[in-house]
Amino acid sequence: MERNVLHSSILSGAFSIIFQVLCRILTFAINAFIVRNVGRDVLGIMNVRLLLLESTLLFLSREAFNRAGLSATTQQRSKCSWAQLINQMWLTAPTCIVISIPCVYTWLHLLSPVEEQYKVQYQFGCYAMALSCIVELCAEAPSFVTQVFCFVRVRIVLNTLHILVRSAVFLWIVINDKNVAINAFAIAQLMSTATIIFGNYGFFYFYIRRLNQHKGQSDMKDFPFKKLTEFFPGVMKNEDKFFNSELQILTLSFVKQGVLKQILTEGEKYVMSVSPVLNFSEQATYDVVNNLGSLAARFIFRPIEESSYFFFTQTIARDVDLYKQKRESVVQAANVLHNLSLAVTSIGLLALTFGQSYSHTLLLLYGGADFVAGGLPEKLLQWHCLAIYFLAINGITEGYMFATNTSRDIDKYNYLMAIFSVSFLILSYILTSFLGPVGFIFANCVNMFCRICYSTHFIYRQYQPTDLMPLKGLLPGKWFIFTLLISGLFCKYVSSSSILIHLLYGFLSVFCCLLVWTMENRELVKLGWRYGQRIKND
């Protein structure tokens, strides 16, 4: 079976976007239902504590084996056989069993305790999460094969079914009895793993059956499996050792990176779980606000960052000073960086300005009057809008830096990133002790501000020998800033109006700001329009 890796990667990315949107819609709907009908304490236990246990077990048990296995399949010099790869993938399940013992004990006895009324359900939830992870990893071998052989649609369909089954089972149980929400969450998690087990093995049962019926077809010759039982350890014929020593060494190296990556990825939730100053209601509130505030990052900033990263890597040489490179390419890269910086900074300022006036309205529509009572969710979202502004700047400047600096600079920055991340964890713990959940946002803003300072200094130093100044894009036009200021104050002043009137004022204010921005950046708008028409015609 010939695999077009590039085509499959693009297809996977497109399907992944659709899958993420679907998951996000379902998550928002279920969270809104829980907030309105069950309570924030339950949401905090499920979305912060139990899902953190799941992500910890799956990541530490699977990530290193998966990355090492993928490296072995792409290296032509690798002496690792498919039998050894399958045997290696099956190590994920016993690894998960070993890791589950200390993790479940920690979650039950060492982390901040849950309220007495949820204690029994919470214990069941921890055991169910560990069991679901172990069962899910029993399908790691066929799941790994679908990834290697680019069965993109299969992976997306199974992931979608997994989410749908989990959501349907959870809602079906909770609608009948709201008092067993945590049990429902655990049961739904266990039942949804059946889609992964039966889906993966069921697909290859029929695929191998069809493969054996068409042995002469050239596009299926490199598929190494002849029967379904070969996905189990020790079944496939193997002339070498049961395990590959090089693959195991590579796996251990990925384990070291994986532990740090997991801590950095889920750092806020670990601090929440350890810190006694945040109760589950506050944890749930922060999780909901964080999910709402991160929409811009997921659906706007991230695609821009990924596309621009590819462009800069193809335009600017890493190991050559800019003044020694082709002038046309350098000017083009500087213009793109300037325009992208201007665009994302303007989006971030829009979010920061109108987030101060419409955080309460948005959260009221989402979670109801009880959710916004006390003012904490509104305060969190307002400050999170500041984080969106920093995130917009950090994404494009750091992306450019990663795309154009040397390997030595990358290693140096990775070391600094570790320092930034550890500092973030420490600062988060300290600030949450005084400020509550808002401390996480302050710590995140400080972390991103430090990274922005480093990346902008790199860009400034890189372009200093030239007469180009792409960092000016970080400063939008004065009339746009003035319009934002007036619109923000106006919307804040009329915030006591009815929701519909307030939303109408906001819509008109945003329209005025965009109109002023368009007039100040006419050439950029025309350029974007021409590229849009070209893409449409292609």
pLDDT for 184 equals: 92
The two three-digit tokens of residue 367, written as one number: 């979670």
8 Å CB contact between 140 and 62: yes
- Calpha distance 98→489 (Å, rounded): 57
Of the listed ranges 188-192, 275-279, 357-361, 459-463, the least confidently predicted one is: 275-279
Rounded to the nearest angstrom, the gap between the alpha carbon of residue 179 and the centroid of all alpha carbons in its chain is 31
**CB hemisphere CA count around 47 (13 angstroms):** 26
Q: How many helices (H) and strands (E) does the chain have?
A: 22, 0
Structure-model confidence comparison of residues 470 and 301, the more confident one: 470
pLDDT at 168 over 60: yes
pTM here is 0.70
What is the SS3 assignment for 237? coil
Comparing CA positions, the residue from 298, 289, 425 lying closest to residue 362 is 289
User: Can you give the pLDDT at residue 27?
Assistant: 67
Does residue 217 surpass a pLDDT of 60? no
Asked if the model's pLDDT at residue 24 lies above 70, the reply is no
Among 95-99, 287-291, 509-513, which stretch is predicted with the lowest mean pLDDT?
287-291
CA–CA separation, 308 and 380 (whole Å): 31
Pick from 52-56, 300-304, 433-437: least confident: 300-304
- For the ranges 10-14, 28-32, 199-203, 242-246, which has the lowest average pLDDT? 10-14
Measuring CA to CA, how many Å separate 246 from each of 64, 75, 181, 232, 284?
14, 12, 46, 21, 44
Is pLDDT at 156 greater than 70 in this prediction?
yes
pLDDT at position 132 over 90 = yes
What spatial distance separates the first Cα and last Cα of the chain, rounded to whole Å?
Answer: 30
Domains in the chain: boundaries? 5-247, 279-473, 477-538
- 66 close to 139: Cβ distance less than 8 angstroms: no
Residues 456-470 have pLDDT tens digits of 998 998 888 888 888
User: Alpha-carbon torsion 58, 64, 65, 67, what sign?
Assistant: positive
Identify the band that residue 202 occupies on the pLDDT scale cut at 50, 70 and 90.
very high
Cα of 225 vs its chain's centroid, Å: 33
Q: What is the mean pLDDT of residues 104-133?
A: 92
For the chain, give the number of residues: 538
Question: Phi and psi at residue 448, in whole multiples of 5°?
Answer: -70, -35
| Percent with pLDDT over 70 in the chain | 83
What single-letter DSSP state applies at residue 139? Answer: T
Task: Among 58-62, 101-105, 151-155, 308-312, name the most confident range.
Answer: 101-105
| Cα–Cα distance measured from residue 508 to residue 486, given in angstroms and rounded to the nearest whole number | 13
Q: Tell me the helix, strand and coil percentages in the chain, rounded to 5.
A: 85, 0, 15
Q: 136-140, 268-272, 297-301: which has the minimum mean pLDDT?
A: 297-301
**How buried is 31 (Cβ within 10 angstroms: 0-12 exposed, 13-18 middle, 19+ buried)?**
buried
pLDDT of 330: 84
If you average pLDDT over each of 80-94, 239-253, 397-411, which comes out highest? 80-94
Nearest 5°: phi and psi at 361? -65, -45
φ, ψ (nearest 5 deg) of residue 80: -80, 130
Do residues 69 and 247 make contact, with C-beta atoms less than 8 angstroms apart?
yes
> CB count, 10 Å around CB of 11?
15
When pLDDT is cut at 50, 70 and 90, the band that residue 155 belongs to is confident
Question: 27-31, 127-131, 282-286, 367-371 — which one is most confidently predicted on average?
Answer: 127-131
The pair of structure tokens assigned to 215 is 């042995």
208 in Cβ contact with 228 (< 8 Å): yes
Q: Say if CB 183 and CB 124 are below 8 A apart.
A: yes
If pLDDT is split at 50, 70 and 90, which confidence band does 329 have?
Answer: confident
Query: CB atoms < 10 A from the CB of 138, how many?
Result: 19
